[in-house]
């Protein structure tokens, strides 16, 4: 049996884990982009979210430091990983990734077909993305607190209490 909540939590953790977050500034940028992405999804839907992420991502350079690129890639990787649970057919063509990431035309063409083909799948995908982005925000907030504790530890020279937050999330 497929568990939407568990798979969304894993996708959210993968977003934070794949993003270059070495300092509080980078974590804050990730949090801001996650909030904006979640807002676009809630206000305008799945297709608008994909268009937004495609439009905002960096075309060249260090993609691990680009939250838009990481969010898009991790959401699409989660869809591919969970295609059966999301009601996608085995023979359905999904967007392909190469060393530069996902191609805009393929992602948008896939999203159009998915949206036009089945309302149930669209609503399930919207819920999955919403939960994944929400879990990613929570994981980023936890990471921010961990980094603050580490900075306080370095400044004071005394160990900070264990926060219980895993760095691999």
Question: Per residue in 31-61, pLDDT tens?
Answer: 999 999 999 999 999 999 999 999 988 765 5
CATH fold, domain 4-154, is: Peroxidase; domain 1 (1.10.520)
Tell me the two tokens of residue 53: 């992420």
What is the pLDDT, as a whole number, of residue 155?
Answer: 66
pTM: 0.82
Q: How far is CA 32 from CA 7, 35, 124, 142, 168, in A?
A: 23, 5, 25, 14, 20
Question: How is the chain split into domains, by residue range?
Answer: 4-154
How crowded is residue 119: how many other Cβ atoms within 10 Å of its Cβ? 9
pLDDT confidence bin for 149, thresholds 50/70/90: confident
Residue at token pair 């804050």:
28
Q: How far apart are CA 2 and CA 25, in angstroms?
A: 36
Q: In angstroms, how far is CA 137 from the centroid of its own chain?
A: 9
pLDDT confidence bin for 158, thresholds 50/70/90: low
Q: Which residues contact 123 (CB under 8 A, 6 or more apart)?
A: none
Q: How far is CA 166 from CA 56, 87, 94, 98, in A?
A: 29, 32, 32, 30
């Amino acid at each position: 049996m497929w568990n939407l909540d568990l798979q969304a939590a894993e996708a959210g953790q993968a977003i934070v884990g794949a993003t270059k977050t070495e300092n509080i500034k980078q974590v804050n940028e990730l949090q801001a982009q996650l909030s904006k992405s979640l807002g676009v999804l809630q206000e305008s839907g799945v297709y608008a979210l994909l268009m937004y992420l495609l439009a905002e991502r960096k075309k060249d350079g260090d993609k691990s430091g680009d939250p838009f690129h990481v969010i898009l890639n991790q959401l699409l990787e989660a869809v591919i990983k969970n295609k059966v649970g999301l009601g996608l057919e085995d023979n359905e063509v999904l967007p392909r990734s190469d060393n530069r990431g996902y191609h805009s035309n393929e992602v948008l063409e896939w999203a159009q077909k998915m949206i036009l083909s089945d309302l149930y799948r669209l609503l399930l995908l919207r819920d999955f993305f919403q939960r994944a982005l929400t879990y990613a925000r929570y994981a980023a907030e936890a990471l921010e607190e961990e980094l603050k504790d580490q900075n306080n530890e370095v400044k004071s020279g005394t160990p900070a209490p264990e926060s219980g937050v895993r760095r691999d999330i």
